[in-house]
Structure 1
């Protein structure tokens, strides 16, 4: 393995160690009750080292879902239409219990979701993550106003579906018992999207070019 590859692996490992350490402490004691210095000490690094990886305390938590930020933008090229690609991808996530769909009742996942949705600073940071996801999807769909409108609706639908699944599981329902209803809700939601937004029912490569003078 090259030195560059080894350095990259070490860097990714450090991201995971710092994030996992922080989340464990935040779940145990609460986000506001744990300082960045305490996270650094628990991970056996200096505070400046931690800040080189995570500029903000909230980023330590959001790192766990950071790889989903441009996921929708990558997915739209994988189906006959953007809507169908997104539908298949979300349904596949439900099938495997991907935590980002909300349909997962593993105790560690539940603890993470309680931390995320129960901490105002993290919820605010999460909306920034969703905005960036929306921007990336809009670019993949063509970047014009119609693309931005479509992307906003897709991100909103995915968020509402996931939060509904999470709400019901947090109230005591089991993921296995909820799956059929979650799939039906997702099918209906993406049907409405495909029927209501023209950009989602045609391949993004065939999207009309913006009019120029």
Structure 2
């Protein structure tokens, strides 16, 4: 990565950091783009160059995970469902924020902000749709299924991962430590992916 790219990443992070700090203090709907730009010491034009929509100031924190499931399916040797199950269990052991099993205050605050803000939850639907499309393409390559089956399977797999994450986050937000919540998180993941294996196994995705 060259100097210009590193500078752009730093600017992007600084804008997002400033926005999220304001959103957490005042509420997403109560903060304007102008206020975010002023806090980040950039122009509105610069802000929109990095973040086309206000919701992107928050959801960009998850950008690396948007096509993660597709990458896992393509890169791992196991069949798709088993690959995603193994990957999710690995991330649980690592207390990865994307699994919801993370007690870092900043992560808990971000989850709370997203879940308490209708506009951000709507943006998460778009986020998942993009991930679904990428995952469906990966399933078409890996499992040699029809486009219909790939799309249906991608939707189920995405929803399972998201609802597992929300369940884990709810336990942590309720005061349970990540270590104490870990056994229940593993049990839920095993059960959820087990149901998918039963349902999608006939399509060669076991």
Q: Same-fold call, TM > 0.5?
A: yes
Q: Distance in 2 between matches of 1:47 and 1:201?
A: 47
Q: Distance in 2 between matches of 1:150 and 1:23?
A: 34
Q: CA deviation at 1:199?
A: 3.9
Q: Identify which of 28, 38, 45 aligns with 1:48.
A: 45
Does residue 156 of the first structure (1) align with residue 159 of the second (2)?
Answer: yes
Judging by fraction of residues, say which structure has more helix. Answer: 2
Gaps of 5+ in 1: 203-213
CA contact (8 A) 1:147 1:199 kept: no
1:104-115 correspondence to structure 2 within 5 Å: 104-115=102-113
Q: CA deviation at 1:116?
A: 0.8
- Corresponding position of 2:90: 92
Q: Which runs of 4+ in 1 moved over 3 A?
A: none
CA contact (8 A) 1:83 1:201 kept: yes
Q: CA deviation at 1:200?
A: 5.5
SS of residue in 2 equivalent to 1:141? helix
Does residue 71 of the first structure (1) align with residue 68 of the second (2)?
Answer: yes
- Corresponding position of 1:201: 205
1:160-171 correspondence to structure 2 within 5 Å: 160-171=163-174
Q: Distance in 1 between matches of 2:127 and 2:177?
A: 28
- Corresponding position of 1:177: 180
Q: CA deviation at 1:148?
A: 0.6
Q: Distance in 2 between matches of 1:166 and 1:118?
A: 13
Q: CA deviation at 1:79?
A: 2.9
SS of residue in 2 equivalent to 1:153? helix
Q: Distance in 1 between matches of 2:122 and 2:8?
A: 27
Q: Identify which of 50, 59, 62 aligns with 2:59.
A: 62
Q: Distance in 1 between matches of 2:204 and 2:31?
A: 44
Q: Scaled by the length of structure 1, what TM-score is found?
A: 0.89
Q: Distance in 2 between matches of 1:128 and 1:103?
A: 23
> How many residue pairs get matched?
199
SS of residue in 1 equivalent to 2:29? coil
Residues 70 and 30 from structure 1, CA distance in 2 versus in 1: closer, same or farther, beyond 3 angstroms? same
1:30-45 correspondence to structure 2 within 5 Å: 30-45=27-42
1:93-114: CA deviation from partner (whole Å, max 9, x where unpaired): 1111111111111111111111
Gaps of 5+ in 2: 141-145
SS of residue in 2 equivalent to 1:103? coil
CA RMSD between the two structures: 1.4
